[in-house]
Amino acid sequence: MALTRDQVAQRVAQELQDGYYVNLGIGIPTLVANYVPEGKEVMFQSENGLLGMGPFPTEDEVDPDMINAGKQTVTAVTGASIFSSADSFAMIRGGHIDLTVLGAFEIDIEGNIASWMIPKKLIKGMGGAMDLVAGAANIIVTLTHADKHGNSKLLQKCTLPLTGVGCISKVVTDLAYIEIEGGKFHLKERAPGVSVEEIIEKTAGELVVEGDIPEMKFS
Amino acid sequence: MAGFNKVVDTFEEAMAGLEDNMTIIAGGFGVCGVQAGLIEQIKKMGVKGLTIASNNCGLETYGLGILLENQQIKKMIASYVGENALFAKQMLEGSLEVELTPQGTLAEKMRAGGAGIPAFYTATGYGTAVAEGKETKEFDGRMYVLEEALKGDFALVRAWKADTMGNLVYHNTQRNFNPMAATAGKITVVEVDEIVEPGELDPADIHTPGIYVNRLIKTQHDKPIEFRTTREA
């Protein structure tokens, strides 16, 4: 069975290490905050200028001046800090964020990512996505392996306008965990009940399958 | 105004000197940290052909979005322009020029503009549409794009507390682009929740020193919320 959105987030959350500063993109990446492994402390960065983002406020705590990058009202956890956009992107572009998780439309074997623009559709802008992919050393991309017509999103070469080049090495899809190295996709894990054959069939870019591919484990 | 007293009493005085075809740098993220009163004054003045650099373009009824109604904006430099149907319409019709700029690059362009740095190299956007037509250079085996600084005829800033000398403190994530915008205007105008006497703010706690500020006016606006998300108490 393909993973649910929450299971994708759960799998990504297994990569969280104690003491990590983490930036989560909009969509599935946001759900990762719900699955921080017990006993591990992480701080979430919101690129509008908040390190230590907490849960949504109660009605009484709502503050129009306390929002996240998705413009939702949020709170700050104990130990949080607030700063300017320039400081925020110095953290991001200076490589100080331990892990960035973001969604994408397409990924290719060179580690290129397309996530911000579909030609002829309404263009809204890249926000902080280009900064995040250029600045972070450790990025996990989440996306569905194929679109609803079965067309693969893991390609030999991205077809949509790029967000960044050669910057992605880890991908969690609804079917697999894949790493990118040496101009190839490498299958590392498969979703429980999903066959290697199905993953091969739905991966358009060159995919290396070595040995037995274990199923993902969820506690 | 006398000496270091930056306070003005009317929004007319606050935006005096703004003319057609000028460039404005504005702080704000979504509807947070936005200079609603100053922008309403710009709408009243009816100046046209403006180039505006700000992370977003507000909503149709709040912030920079209200300048779209009478087509006062010629060019918008922003990182994200969703949430505004009129903006999309003018962009598609070609009456509004849009320069989409990565958020961190935009912040740094403003910071550099205010700090006397004409341009800087960044890895952000290399190999993408953003880098088209721009110089690139390799440092330590990695490619970077040359991005030019931004400066404005006016800068619009929203702050929480100010003393009359223009020393500013921001409230929570209201800060966002405002400190960089403050440095990047020939005339920097600040709309503020509360104005206090000099000495009431701790010098060590000032976010933006008064040297960057030319005019200061107390806001008359409540703060809107774009997405009110809450949890059970």
User: B204: helix, coil or strand?
Assistant: helix
If you count residue pairs, one on A and one on B, with CB atoms under 8 Å apart, how many are there? Answer: 171
**CB < 8 Å from B in window 146-175 of A:** 161-166
* Tokens matching residue B100: 């989409």
Q: What is the pLDDT of residues A36-57, one digit of tens each?
A: 999 999 999 999 999 999 999 9
Q: Alpha-carbon distance A175 to A156, whole Å?
A: 18
Q: How confident is the model at residue B227 (pLDDT cuts 50, 70, 90)?
A: very high
Which pairs with CB-CB distance under 8 Å and at least 24 residues apart come from B125-128?
Answer: B125/A130, B125/A134, B126/A134, B126/A164, B126/A165, B127/A112, B127/A162, B127/A164, B127/A165, B127/A166, B128/A130, B128/A161, B128/A162, B128/A163, B128/A164, B128/A165
pLDDT at A94: 94
pLDDT digits over A201-217, tens only? 999 999 999 999 999 99
Average pLDDT, chain A: 95
- Label residue A1 by pLDDT band (50, 70, 90): confident
Arithmetic mean of pLDDT, A23-34: 92
Residue A176, both tokens: 């697999």
Is A47 designated active site?
yes
The pLDDT score that the predictor gives to residue B67 is: 97
Contact state of A48 with B29 under an 8 Å Cβ cutoff: yes
Report which of residues B81 and B186 the model is more confident about. Answer: B186
Q: Which two tokens stand for residue A166?
A: 């050669």
Question: CA separation (Å) from B135 to A166, B106, B168?
Answer: 19, 17, 37
What is the structure's pLDDT at A121? 80
Q: Do A128 and B102 count as a contact with CB atoms less than 8 A apart?
A: yes
Q: Which position has the higher pLDDT, A137 or B218?
A: B218
Predicted local distance difference test score (pLDDT) of residue B17: 98
A134 close to B (CB below 8 A): yes
- Residue-wise pLDDT tens digits, B65-111: 999 999 999 999 999 997 788 898 898 899 999 999 999 999 999 99
Looking at residues A65-72, what average pLDDT do you find?
95
What percent of chain B stands above pLDDT 90? 93
Mutate to test the interface with B, among A131, A163, A165, A167 (most CBs of B within 10 A): A131
Query: In 3-state terms, chain A is what percent helix, strand and coil (to 5)?
Result: 20, 30, 55
A114-155 residue pLDDT tens = 999 888 787 789 999 999 999 988 999 999 999 999 999 999
Digit-coded pLDDT (tens) for A159-207:
999 999 999 999 999 999 999 999 999 999 999 999 999 999 999 999 9
- How high is the pLDDT of residue A26? 86
Q: Look at B179 and A161 and tell me if their CB atoms are within 8 Å.
A: no
pLDDT at B68: 94
The whole-angstrom separation of Cα B115 and Cα A87 is 15
**8 Å CB contact of B110 and A86:** yes
A-chain CB neighbours of B229 within 8 Å are: 56, 72-74
Name the minimum distance, in Å, from the CA of B99 to any CA of chain A.
9
**pLDDT tens across A92-107, in order?**
999 999 999 999 999 9
Cβ–Cβ of A64/B223 closer than 8 Å?
yes
Whether A124 has its CB under 8 Å from any CB of chain B: the answer is yes
CB contact under 8 A, B29 and A130: no
Q: Which residues pair with B33 in a beta bridge?
A: none
Is the pLDDT at B1 greater than 70? The verdict is no
pLDDT tens by residue, B127-153: 999 999 999 999 999 999 999 999 999
pTM: 0.96
- What ipTM is given for this predicted complex? 0.96
Q: Is the pLDDT of residue B233 over 60?
A: yes
Q: Report yes or no: B209 at the A interface, CB cutoff 8 Å.
A: no
Tens of pLDDT, residue by residue over B37-70, are 999 999 999 999 999 999 999 999 999 999 999 9
Mean of per-residue pLDDT scores for chain B: 96
